[in-house]
Amino acid sequence: MNRTVKSYVKARNRLSKKNKLLLNTSPTKFFFKDKDFQNFNFLNPEQKNILEIGFGDGGNLLINARQNLDSFYIGIEVYEMGVANVLNIAETEGIDNLKVILGDAVDVLEKNNHFSCFDEVIIFFPDPWPKRKHNKRRLISENFLMNIKKIMRENGTLRIKTDWQDYADEIEIYLKKVFKNYKEAADQKLDSITKYEKIALAEKRKISYFEVY
């Protein structure tokens, strides 16, 4: 599927020389660019595998990887600074239960949806694109959720948080169509508070939480 409308705008960021080098050397132990990414078959079926889509600065991804050494974490993000941040920290700390893909999660999953390997898929605070004329840019669509369902193990869980009510309403419609087990307002697990969750809390916006399996 050739998409022209993307869920992100490429930020023009000034990467340091070190980060440029880091992001131009792919694949590595920790990192793939989407063009070099083959498939998820390298994941160990004996292990718990978790995918975080749009991890931003990577705070939640890193905390989870550090705390759950028996699990393996994959992150997909288009924001180069966020990817470089995770790679630098993973390398420095020797966190080796984690791999990051730099690229568009929609494209990555459209091409790699044949292997049911994830126990958990996380999407926290996807960009809300609040203006009606921009709604079509939103990451979560019925097709995207169908691809996520294909890569989830039978008892896998998809967890989504958003602080944008209108987006939450849209997500709920798609989730009910795609997943048979839809749990409304499930109890939140004790996640670390992400950068965007902090902003939502400071601005006193209601946070909708979805958990489906």
Q: Which of 55, 72, 118, 213 binds ligand SAM (CB under 6 A)?
A: 55
Active-site hit among 34, 127, 166, 191: 127
Tokens of 167: 């987006």
DSSP bridge pairs for 122: 52, 159
Nearer residue to ligand SAM within complex by CB, 47 or 83: 83
Please report whether residue 86 would count as binding ligand SAM according to CB under 6 A: no
Nearer residue to ligand SAM within complex by CB, 77 or 119: 77
In the complex, the smallest distance separating the C-beta of residue 177 from ligand SAM, rounded to whole angstroms, is: 21
Order the strands of the 182-183 sheet from edge to edge.
Answer: 31-33, 98-102, 71-77, 48-53, 118-124, 152-162, 208-212, 182-183
In the complex, the smallest distance separating the C-beta of residue 47 from ligand SAM, rounded to whole angstroms, is: 23
Q: How far is CA 27 from the centre of its chain?
A: 19
Tokens of 136: 């079509």
Could you list the residues that contact ligand SAM (CB under 6 A)? 7-8, 53-56, 76-79, 82, 104-106, 124-127, 139, 194-197
